[in-house]
């Protein structure tokens, strides 16, 4: 009978220790923490307004909201239509992916980023930052600007969203414009 109680007690201890083992469903086999979004949506359209007026419309194939990290991830084709203060379309941005930061509604677009303005100017780059409060687009990586008469390349770039007033660092390229030079 004594052996029965020792065996029974040993089984209880084994069961208790086994029951304390935790298999966390939020980790990978290597022990990395999996970060799940708070919300997900597909084929999404978001409207950004300022003072009740439409300033941008964002579309993406997949959207994942991470509330604790305070950003929204955009994937599967991103398109942003920008509008002026009167609600008239001024440019369109497309990219493979993006991220919108909750606090300022700033955005980073990545992967084959193209901006086409209503005047026909085209910007190509691999990463572009939209500074919402300043209403500026900025790239800190190489860019290509194409207009009706120019093809310019640069190491970085800053502009208004309609690509009229822009600055390019280390600009080079070709132009058909004539420039008068005072001597």
Complete DSSP assignment for 5-61? HHHHHHHHHHHHHHHH----TTB-TT-PBP---SEEEEEEEEEEEETTEEEEEEEEE
pLDDT digits (tens, 9 = 90+) for 100-112: 998 888 899 999 9
Q: Which residue has the tokens 């955009």?
A: 74
Quick one: tokens of 147?
């207009």
Look at residue 40 and tell me whether its pLDDT is greater than 90: yes
Quick one: tokens of 153?
């390349």
**What distance lies between CA 9 and its chain's CA centroid?**
58
Look at residue 137 and tell me whether its pLDDT is greater than 70: yes
The secondary element (H helix, E strand) that includes residue 172 is: strand 172-175
How confident is the model over 64-80, as a mean pLDDT? 94
The secondary element (H helix, E strand) that includes residue 2 is: helix 2-20
Whole-angstrom distance, CA of residue 34 vs CA of residue 114: 32
Q: Domain spans of the chain?
A: 39-175
Look at residue 55 and tell me whether its pLDDT is greater than 90: no
- Mean pLDDT of the residues in the chain: 83
How confident is the model over 133-156, as a mean pLDDT? 92
Look at residue 18 and tell me whether its pLDDT is greater than 90: no
Whole-angstrom distance, CA of residue 156 vs CA of residue 82: 21
Q: Which residue has the tokens 């001024």?
A: 90
Between these two residues, 119 and 15, which has the higher pLDDT value? 119
pLDDT digits (tens, 9 = 90+) for 81-95: 988 888 888 899 999
pLDDT at 138: 95
Query: Does domain 39-175 correspond to CATH entry 2.60.450.10?
Result: yes
Q: Could you tell me which of 113, 63, 73, 112 has the C-alpha nearest to residue 93?
A: 113
Tell me the β-bridge partners of 89.
83
Look at residue 5 and tell me whether its pLDDT is greater than 50: no
In which region does residue 14 sit, left (phi positive, over 0), alpha (psi from -120 to 50) or beta (all else)? alpha
| Residue 24 pLDDT level (bands cut at 50, 70, 90) | very low
Q: What percent of the chain has pLDDT over 90?
A: 49
Contacts of 180 (CB under 8 A, 6+ apart): none
């Amino acid at each position: 009978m004594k052996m029965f109680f020792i065996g029974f007690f040993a089984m209880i201890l084994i069961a208790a220790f086994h029951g304390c083992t935790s298999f966390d469903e939020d980790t990978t086999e290597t022990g990395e923490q999996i970060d799940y979004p708070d919300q997900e949506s597909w084929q999404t359209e978001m409207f950004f307004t300022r003072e009740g007026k439409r300033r941008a419309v964002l579309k993406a194939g997949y959207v994942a909201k991470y509330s604790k990290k305070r950003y929204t991830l955009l994937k599967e084709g991103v398109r942003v239509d920008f509008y002026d203060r009167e609600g008239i379309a001024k440019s369109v941005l497309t990219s493979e992916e993006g991220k919108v930061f909750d606090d300022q509604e700033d955005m980073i677009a990545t992967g084959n980023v193209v901006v086409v303005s209503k005047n026909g100017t085209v910007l190509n780059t691999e990463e572009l930052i939209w500074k919402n409060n300043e209403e500026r687009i900025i790239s800190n990586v190489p860019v290509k600007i194409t207009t009706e008469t120019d093809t310019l390349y640069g190491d970085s770039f800053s502009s208004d969203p309609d690509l009229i007033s822009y600055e390019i660092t280390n600009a080079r390229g070709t132009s058909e414009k004539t420039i008068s030079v005072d001597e």
